[in-house]
Amino acid sequence: MAEVELSGVTKAFSGQAAVNDVSFAVAAGHLVALLGPSGCGKSTTLRLIAGLEQSTAGTIKISGRDVTHTAPAERGVSMVFQSYALFPHLSVEQNILFGLEVRKVPKPERIARLKRAVGILGLDQLLDRKPSQLSGGQQQRVALGRAIVAETPVCLMDEPLSNLDAQLRLDMRREIRALQRRLGVTMIYVTHDQVEAMTMADRIVLMRSGHVEQHGTPEELYGRPATVFTARFIGTPPMNVLPLAALGEAAARFAPDGRDASTVSLGVRPEHVRLSDTGIHATVTAVEYLGADSLIDARIGDGALAASFVVRVPGKVAAGEGGRLGLDWDVADTHHFDTASGRRIA
């Protein structure tokens, strides 16, 4: 059953659509990532679900109830912001309990919920501290604690980890995911970080310029991107996408059936390419050694048809700048797109 459902939701600011005809459903107990580049409308979509913005058109349902015009407090959602939004003059305990006091939850119930949340988050020793006496990760846990004690069926998160350093982000990602599973809460999680979306989400809603570009599982977005935009947004380094003709004589082998090759772009992920003496000729333009693997920047083709190509290979490569390589990959790892529209060719 869909716990959250958006149908044709549009939000315009001064006549300019920030969110344009967005529809998607989130199943109960799922974690869905709203992913996309800066300014694509992720935060606005989340704020519309929370009721912090009023939609210009469309309907929003939560737990089967139309909440399009319902006040935020009556929607059954909690929200965690990038800034944590903690009150500086209140202690950790007071910050966590604030919402419950406002909603007049009886004291014994408040204490029970506090105990549960604090136990889960490991905040037991910090309850009397003020936010200024906490690390970034601890402040983030307090913000999570506030969402947990609300015990709403739906939790909304807006880039909750963006103020943390890389290692802590990794730990908190796992923690949030485990917590979401344990509590069985439905979560919508805004991020511009595709790795975060891929590792945490059951499904990803990839947004672009206010609309939904593709909605699917991480495997679907990675394995069958519907557009060049999705293909290049998911995966690092991005998929190589180039005119089929740039492959020269090899183009025939990688061409889709029954299409004029001149209208087709070919896509292949850097990690699916291997070095092969009999493969397509390439010239190395740069090599980056990363430890477990290396990234090779190469050029293939000549003149107007020359194209750059990135290859990811295990370990260290002997080749240096200016060196010659042969590149090959399985036909099954080839993606095809219509060059004009950028859409996948089935």
By the rule CB under 6 A, 140 interacts with ligand ATP: no
Please name the residue ranges forming H helices in 62-165: 92-102, 107-121, 136-150
Residue closest to 331 by CA, chosen among 248, 261, 252, 241: 252
Least distance (Å) between residue 177 CB and ligand ATP: 21
CA gap 212, 225 in Å, rounded: 13
Q: For the CA atoms of the chain, what is the radius of gyration? A: 24
By the rule CB under 6 A, 18 interacts with ligand ATP: yes
CA gap 57, 343 in Å, rounded: 27
- And the tokens for 255? 């061409």
> Helices 107-121 and 136-150: crossing angle, nearest 10°?
140
Least distance (Å) between residue 26 CB and ligand ATP: 18
| Beta carbon nearer to ligand ATP, 43 or 78 | 43
Q: Which among 38-46, 196-204, 287-295, 310-318 is the span making contact with ligand ATP, rule CB under 6 A?
A: 38-46
By the rule CB under 6 A, 41 interacts with ligand ATP: yes
Paired strand residues for 207: 212
Q: Which among 31-39, 115-123, 133-141, 142-150 is the span making contact with ligand ATP, rule CB under 6 A?
A: 31-39
CA gap 114, 148 in Å, rounded: 9
Angle at 59 between CA 57 and CA 61, to 5 degrees: 160
| Beta carbon nearer to ligand ATP, 11 or 269 | 11
By the rule CB under 6 A, 44 interacts with ligand ATP: yes
Least distance (Å) between residue 38 CB and ligand ATP: 3
Q: Which among 33-41, 85-93, 136-144, 243-251 is the span making contact with ligand ATP, rule CB under 6 A?
A: 33-41
- And the tokens for 311? 């290859």
Sorted by sequence, the CB contacts under 8 Å of residue 57 that are 6+ apart come out as 8, 9, 10
> Helices 107-121 and 92-102: crossing angle, nearest 10°?
140
Contacts of ligand ATP in 277-306 (CB under 6 A)? none
| Beta carbon nearer to ligand ATP, 41 or 145 | 41
Q: Which of 13, 74, 101, 302 binds ligand ATP (CB under 6 A)?
A: 13
Q: Which of 8, 27, 39, 217 binds ligand ATP (CB under 6 A)?
A: 39
| Beta carbon nearer to ligand ATP, 49 or 268 | 49
Does residue 237 have a cis peptide bond before it, meaning omega lies within 30 degrees of 0? yes
| Beta carbon nearer to ligand ATP, 113 or 192 | 192
The 165-204 site mask, x for binding ligand ATP (CB under 6 A), equals ---------------------------x------------
Least distance (Å) between residue 212 CB and ligand ATP: 12
Q: Which of 5, 24, 32, 43 binds ligand ATP (CB under 6 A)?
A: 43
Paired strand residues for 303: none
| Beta carbon nearer to ligand ATP, 206 or 282 | 206
Please give the C-alpha separations between residue 158 and each of 2, 24, 99, 222, in angstroms, as whole numbers.
21, 18, 18, 23
| Beta carbon nearer to ligand ATP, 26 or 92 | 26
**Interior/surface letters 103-142, b for 16+ CB within 10 angstroms, e for the rest:** eebeeeebeebbeebbebbebeebbebebeebeebbbbbb
Sorted by sequence, the CB contacts under 8 Å of residue 290 that are 6+ apart come out as none
Q: Which among 40-48, 89-97, 171-179, 259-267 is the span making contact with ligand ATP, rule CB under 6 A?
A: 40-48
Per CB under 6 A, residues contacting ligand ATP are: 13, 18, 36, 38-44, 192
